[in-house]
Amino acid sequence: MKSFTVSLSVLILLIGAAFSVTTAARTHYVRYGDTLWELSIYYYNTPFHWEDILNANPFIEGVEYLQPGSELILPDISGVTITSQAYNSGLSGIYTTSGTSSRPLISSLTLATAGMVTSNPPDAVAYIIALNVDEVGMSFVEEVYPGDLVALDIGHDQGVALESVYKIYSVGEEVRHPQTGIILGNVVRVAGVCRVIETSLSSSIAMIEHAYIPVSVGDYLVPYTSTVPVPVLGSAVAEGIDAYVLAFRDPDLGRAYSYDVLYIDKGTEDGLTSGDIFNMYKYGNAVLSPSGETVVTPDIPVCELIILGTRTNTSSAMITSISISDLVHIGDRIELIRKQL
């Protein structure tokens, strides 16, 4: 599924975003994980000028090829006033996990589309009722991707407006705790993001803007809203909470990589908040020293994760660094090492 995710990077890189601008030159210096979608929101107050930014920078082969440190031209667009002030926290949570600019950052899109493990999913405001509605003879299609059109079961009689943006939720597999076997709920994944382009009295047509997993008939919608920032610049040393990996946002992954999102079995009732940091360790072994004594080798941290969002007894987390070849598996144990101040 990793190849599917890469091929669908039509609008996003999922590893975060941060912004800086040289006002006089109307330029932007790319940081880790910047997306044209979010840059358009920030500088033009709408996500839909991302293609104008792309066209103004012909050296970019595609949005998936944004390189940290490169300079983007921000074009003048008729009737649009470009935002020239430096980034502020009013947009969404974009903070470094360690306070150093060379570390990966977290984007608002990553936070808003992390998904969850829950027995009480968000309420639906609409459902997808048909796929590829612009293609004749394509009724057999079971999945759609960015750029495709879908039909929704609500229209302007239900308050739907043109350019409304929704998150698309897909209810996935049931999750049991890897140690106790207790059912914790289902994985509720954000399959993608769509934008309404046409409405009637009781139905609408929407374009898929982003897709992280295949979008299908029966997936449901909730309004896309800005996320609360994740303040991870300051933290206190913590210990005493172990957690287990329950599932991955990508249902086809057998193991997780850097910047993948996963779900763990601890949440607000355990005192977790967004921005808390966990480590996964390669635990020490008892070895016989040349002197004949048995010595336990130290535990070595091999993976770091940051909490993105919390539910009562589960949380979503993103892997920020990893240094092992066999990566992260469902059922792996992780340990809390830093709490938000």
**pLDDT tens column, 230-281:** 665 556 777 779 999 999 998 888 888 888 899 999 999 999 988 888 998 8
pLDDT confidence tier of residue 20, bands split at 50, 70 and 90: very low
Does any domain span residue 229? Answer: no
273 within a domain of the structure (yes/no):
yes
* Average pLDDT over every residue of 197-212: 92
Q: Is residue 263 part of a domain?
A: yes
Domain residue limits at 268: 235-340
pLDDT reading at 117 higher than 90: yes
Please choose, from the candidates 229, 211, 194, the residue with its C-alpha nearest in 3D space to the C-alpha of residue 309.
229
Q: For residue 326, which phi and psi values (nearest 5 degrees)? A: -90, 0
Q: pLDDT tens-digit profile of 132-156?
A: 887 655 555 567 888 889 999 999 8
More confident site: 172 or 282: 172
Among 77, 112, 147, residue at a domain's last position: 112
| Residue 60: predicted pLDDT | 83
- 35 and 68 together in one domain: yes
The DSSP letter of residue 256 is B
Residues 108, 121, single domain; the answer is: no
Do 204 and 142 lie in a common domain? yes
Q: What is the mean pLDDT of residues 22-34?
A: 61
Bridge partners of residue 328, in order along the sequence: 256
How many structural domains are present in the chain?
Answer: 3
State the pLDDT confidence band at 202, using cuts at 50, 70 and 90.
very high
- Tell me which long-range contacts 59-64 makes (C-beta under 8 A, separation of at least 24): 63/9, 63/10, 63/11, 63/12, 63/13, 63/35, 63/36, 64/6, 64/9, 64/10, 64/13
As a whole number of Å, the CA-based R_g of the chain is: 22
Does residue 85 lie in a domain region? yes
pTM of the model: 0.68
> Six-digit token pair at 154?
């609500």
Task: Please tell me whether residues 275 and 328 are part of one structural domain.
Answer: yes
Query: Residue 7 above 60 pLDDT?
Result: no
Q: How far is CA 264 from CA 38, 40, 79, 115, in A?
A: 28, 33, 46, 12
CA distance 11 to 9: 5
Q: What is the largest CA-CA distance in the chain?
A: 83
Beta bridge partners of 206: 150, 196
Do 329 and 244 share a structural domain? yes
CATH number of the domain encompassing residue 199: 2.40.10.410
**Average model confidence (pLDDT) across the chain:** 78
pLDDT at position 91 is: 32
